[in-house]
Structure 1
């Protein structure tokens, strides 16, 4: 994840943590030298000094052991037993001191491992003693058992000498090398003491003595040159002492004696009188040098600690100040950013939608009031705030322009739709006149096809009106039977012959909802017909339920995916704002707007036959039981809206039914269509007649509809002096038998032609039968 994806608080916290870590590392680097020196002091007092005392006791015990083995007496004698007791006491003191908590804390892993090795080696001396007392070790093997313990102690000393201070570490290594040379002198002393007690050297012992005496002298001279000034002066004084000079003479005399079978040229008393003071002086030199080394390291540690207090303390103060400054700056920065964020959310969530909505309603909007300037100061955040002020003013201005543009587009759509609607109404009037006087079946079929296209054009114009946010002008004053409402919707569908209408029940729809319900059902039925194969049928049924009236439209198409069904139901239940770019589902948008107008519920669901079922629930306040129930096959044309009679009669098998329908529907412009041609749609009736219509109207058609009187709605000044009265010559009762026979013949010819064309269509369809 990139760093820019983290928040400001996280970034500042990471910066502070890095700063603290950097200070801690620098402080530890400064402190480590002092800690190392203090730790070395702790290790020296807790492990090194007790080890040095154990080393001296082991050297004495080794010398007494070799002397006792040389005299061939009973082991151990009193002197050796006392020495062993002192060695054991020193070993116990070393174990207690070296395993203390302070030494364990100060010692690093390698030093702790060397201390453990030394303590374990020291415990093995008890086994070596028992072997020596049993006479199973000679002088050489006995000396080697002590040498191993002493070597483990020196390995521990080497680990202690590794300090960070170069000068102190160098001096510690020099003192350690001088002490190692002293050990070789002690080995030579033990070897000579044992040989003198035995009465002479063996060839191997003589060779080893020569090597040891030469090695310790060379190593002493080399290492003494590296000693500090005070220690070098002490070494010079030791080297010139009488005991050292006497020791050097005795060593030369023993080295020159090549015969091993004769008595030594040096007595035990002479050797002891020279070696003991010489070794004591060298041990004192080493002890004093170690003490001076420890004393010199303490001031260095104190200086380091002082530097740590000065540098680390000042650095800590700087870190604390940085933390405080960062926290306060971050809080101020976050507060300003939070204010800027809240302003952005307020603009995007509240003010912009409110401005767009108000402009859409035609209200005047004061952009200066809707986009007040925000004050964030003069710093960088303030500059961002000023830029945001410009952005929000621009955004609100653009939103206002877009809202005004959308309102203008809706107004244009509404104007075009109204004009188109007016032209379609005039076209339907002309077609109505032409259909009334036409008797040729072929011409009549084409006229009805034009009539049907005009009705669909009217529905498309009404779609534009709905999209513009207005209501179509078609309204009904009286309630209409539900079956006629559905037939009215079928009249606006192109392929209405594929729709099967099931019984709808004796239910009427109140007049104010008839136009919108016809429009809604026409959209849904046409959608079902369009998205199902041409050889399938669409079934429309309806029934009363507890919550109102349900109309189900079921097709036998391919159906829809569950996610598409859910999306379509969401668009119907909660239609989004209409946009010019969203033209893919305009039908759903029109359905949702019409359904919302009357609280109608429209739900799409999967059909068990593989297609889609649309459930339309009309609320109870829109439907009523029909007080004069009639059959649903169109026997009572008085209940059919205008231009619906053709659809009703197109499905009747009996000629007598058609004749009766044509006769009763003549005053409503119901000329019998060809069954294969498109059926006209219902015409709206004005919701409330004017007072003039209520006073001239005195005659009614046989079906009970009032006859309109020309110029009845005009003011008296515009009326013709000789207004035309209703012509009742075309009443069904005045028609001659010849006219009825001609009309019936035309209907029969059209019926035969329609059946023959339907048979041809079935033959052309895949899987059709002749």
Structure 2
């Protein structure tokens, strides 16, 4: 947007400049039509009247022409919409003076017509009014005018040169009427000739070429040559009597030259201004072209910016959607495959793009590289976990073989031993071996493999609870309450025992040795709820939330060495479709709730006779699980 704003600023400057030129042309045309033209016509008429008044020939017609020009001047001043003070501070005063001079024409004429009126006085008063008019013209030409007209100051000099010739004509008309040229008139005549010649030819050289031709034709014409010849003869003769020979051809030649000078002056000044077109090429010029081209450039720039901007937005949206798809769907899906042990083709999941020249394409390539790096790291980690799992399985299988042999050996020793003390020690070793077997099974469970133990027939829930309690070291601390007469299906028995054993062992480990762990079961409409409650120090809300997350999460980190038992519970819960939750106990400890759905249960199973026999609760349960169930 910055280049566009800069371009619009430049275009705005050109537009303001062009509008200013158009305004100047309009103002110049208004000034020309309302003031300059009426003042010029008034000067021309007054010059003719001055000559007629001094020659006493055609005075009435000259006065009527002057009155008509004076009325037009007054109308133009009254109708002027331009503020004269803005053109020249003294211009309003000059216009008022000229208006007053026009109002005093009647008195001037009366004085000039009276007997005994001196021609020099009449000449001076008429010339004074004409000078006031030139003063107004000088103030008006302070405006810049238009490019179509020549320089206003040059045109004013030509007007003064024409006035000098008109003065010559008036002085010679007075001399011709009186038959003599006084010294005063001679001095004025010589001065007028000098002014006319000093102003006319140099000013013509400063005109525009289109306006020089008319003046050059006058200067090169026969009329102007005869005028100059008469001027030379009068200047050479000096003051005194004026002969008809000296003035031969003067009236005709001077009148013709004055008429042509007036026409050429009008064409170079007011006429050219009146014809000026505010919206034409002369006025607008290069600035008008700059405005048009600038507007086209601004519109094209805006169009290109919009198209490019929309293209960038579309590409950015595609890039954003692609990144969100990778982060929200493709990458998690690939991670789930790796977590499930399935292979992932990195080239198919995240095909590598070629590096393009476009920056957005390079960002997309970088995102793809990040995705590939994440998949590669996850794949390597999955391979590592798979390797670790294989090691777990191998170690667990070997441990199970040894532990089964050890348990068989212990069973044989227990059968032959009669000493109560030694028998008690053998039971303790039996407990340890049972726990070791559960830990081996935990390794298999974490590796995704079912443990070696299994049952074909349903097992009463009471035996399942006793078997779970038998697998912990502090079995006497666990109090089993009344159990519903239901059985667990054989395919789920091993996992339920293992899950309950992990939870019971946690309850016994994290509660004081002097307290008991309560194990209760209740029949519900759609399953069985088992609660394991301890009287320990409890857990805060954050710890409970973390434990439940590990138990219920679909994704577990096998490299997390803390609370391996909860991860084992998670795997067993997921495999059997159980619901497990840890919550605070009303007694201050922790309660672990396990819900076994109806699909894993069977009602009204008779209690096995072996479940009521044994040498105490914990040892008997251990023997039932190790002997009766292992052979099922």
Q: Distance in 2 between matches of 1:354 and 1:649?
A: 42
Q: Distance in 1 between matches of 2:512 and 2:275?
A: 105
Question: Is 2:403 aligned against 1:414?
Answer: no
Q: Distance in 2 between matches of 1:477 and 1:32?
A: 99
Counterpart position of 1:405: 384
Counterpart position of 1:22: 6
- CA gap 1:573/1:182 in 2 versus in 1, 3 angstroms: same
Question: Is 2:618 aligned against 1:639?
Answer: no
- Find 2:565's aligned residue among 587, 594, 600: 587
Question: Is 2:153 aligned against 1:228?
Answer: yes
Q: Distance in 2 between matches of 1:187 and 1:467?
A: 118
SS at match of 1:618: strand
Q: Distance in 2 between matches of 1:571 and 1:492?
A: 23
Counterpart position of 1:542: 521
Counterpart position of 1:452: 431
Counterpart position of 1:720: none
Question: Is 2:626 aligned against 1:683?
Answer: yes
Question: Is 2:468 aligned against 1:485?
Answer: no
Structure 2 matches for 1:279-678, cutoff 5 A? 292=273, 301-303=283-285, 306-309=288-291, 311-312=293-294, 315-316=297-298, 319=301, 322-323=304-305, 326=308, 330=312, 348-349=330-331, 352-353=334-335, 356=338, 360=341, 370=348, 400-562=379-541, 564-580=543-559, 582-628=560-606, 638-639=610-611, 645-648=614-617
Q: Encode CA deviations 1:397-440: one digit per residue, 9 max, x unaligned.
A: 66555433322211110111121222222333333344444455
Q: Encode CA deviations 1:414-470: one digit per residue, 9 max, x unaligned.
A: 111121222222333333344444455444443333322222222211111110111
Q: Encode CA deviations 1:115-155: one digit per residue, 9 max, x unaligned.
A: 9xxxxxxxxxxxxxxxxxxxxxxxxxxxxxxxxxxxxx66x
For the Cα contact (< 8 Å) 1:224–1:235, is it kept in 2? Answer: no
Q: Distance in 2 between matches of 1:220 and 1:406?
A: 106
- CA gap 1:51/1:517 in 2 versus in 1, 3 angstroms: farther
Q: Distance in 1 between matches of 2:153 and 2:512?
A: 111
Q: How far is 1:546 from its partner?
A: 0.5
Q: How far is 1:541 from its partner?
A: 0.7
Q: Distance in 2 between matches of 1:452 and 1:239?
A: 144
Q: Distance in 1 between matches of 2:438 and 2:551?
A: 19
Q: Distance in 2 between matches of 1:502 and 1:430?
A: 33
Q: Distance in 1 between matches of 2:536 and 2:77?
A: 105
Q: How far is 1:308 from its partner?
A: 2.8
Q: Distance in 1 between matches of 2:28 and 2:565?
A: 96
- CA gap 1:548/1:495 in 2 versus in 1, 3 angstroms: same
For the Cα contact (< 8 Å) 2:458–2:487, is it kept in 1? Answer: yes
For the Cα contact (< 8 Å) 1:539–1:553, is it kept in 2? Answer: yes
Counterpart position of 2:21: 37
Q: How far is 1:638 from its partner?
A: 1.4
Q: Encode CA deviations 1:31-57: one digit per residue, 9 max, x unaligned.
A: 1111223345667889x899999xx9x
Aligned length in residues? 471
Structure 2 matches for 1:97-108, cutoff 5 A? none
SS at match of 1:624: strand
Q: Distance in 2 between matches of 1:467 and 1:236?
A: 120
TM-score for the superposition, normalised by structure 1? 0.48
For the Cα contact (< 8 Å) 1:35–1:301, is it kept in 2? Answer: no
Q: Distance in 2 between matches of 1:564 and 1:401?
A: 31
Q: Distance in 2 between matches of 1:221 and 1:313?
A: 40
Q: How far is 1:533 from its partner?
A: 4.6
Q: Distance in 2 between matches of 1:604 and 1:417?
A: 29
SS at match of 2:454: coil
CA RMSD of aligned residues (A): 5.7
- CA gap 1:528/1:238 in 2 versus in 1, 3 angstroms: farther
Q: How far is 1:592 from its partner?
A: 1.9
Q: Distance in 2 between matches of 1:406 and 1:241?
A: 120
SS at match of 1:615: strand
Question: Is 2:120 aligned against 1:177?
Answer: no
Q: Distance in 2 between matches of 1:336 and 1:607?
A: 53
Q: Distance in 2 between matches of 1:294 and 1:587?
A: 105
Q: Distance in 2 between matches of 1:19 and 1:558?
A: 71
- CA gap 1:583/1:238 in 2 versus in 1, 3 angstroms: farther
For the Cα contact (< 8 Å) 2:352–2:369, is it kept in 1? Answer: no
Q: How far is 1:583 from its partner?
A: 2.5
Q: Distance in 2 between matches of 1:500 and 1:52?
A: 124
Q: Encode CA deviations 1:461-508: one digit per residue, 9 max, x unaligned.
A: 111111011111122344433223222222222333443322113333
Q: Encode CA deviations 1:351-376: one digit per residue, 9 max, x unaligned.
A: 84487368x36x7x8777x4696676
- CA gap 1:600/1:487 in 2 versus in 1, 3 angstroms: same
Q: How far is 1:551 from its partner?
A: 0.6
For the Cα contact (< 8 Å) 1:571–1:589, is it kept in 2? Answer: yes
For the Cα contact (< 8 Å) 1:438–1:444, is it kept in 2? Answer: yes
Q: Distance in 1 between matches of 2:382 and 2:552?
A: 24
SS at match of 2:89: helix
- CA gap 1:236/1:408 in 2 versus in 1, 3 angstroms: same
Q: Distance in 2 between matches of 1:684 and 1:240?
A: 151
For the Cα contact (< 8 Å) 2:460–2:487, is it kept in 1? Answer: yes
Structure 2 matches for 1:73-88, cutoff 5 A? none
For the Cα contact (< 8 Å) 1:647–1:680, is it kept in 2? Answer: no
- CA gap 1:568/1:183 in 2 versus in 1, 3 angstroms: farther
For the Cα contact (< 8 Å) 1:532–1:555, is it kept in 2? Answer: yes
Runs of 5+ unmatched residues, structure 1: 1-16, 57-86, 99-114, 116-152, 159-172, 193-215, 243-284, 630-635, 651-664, 671-678, 690-770
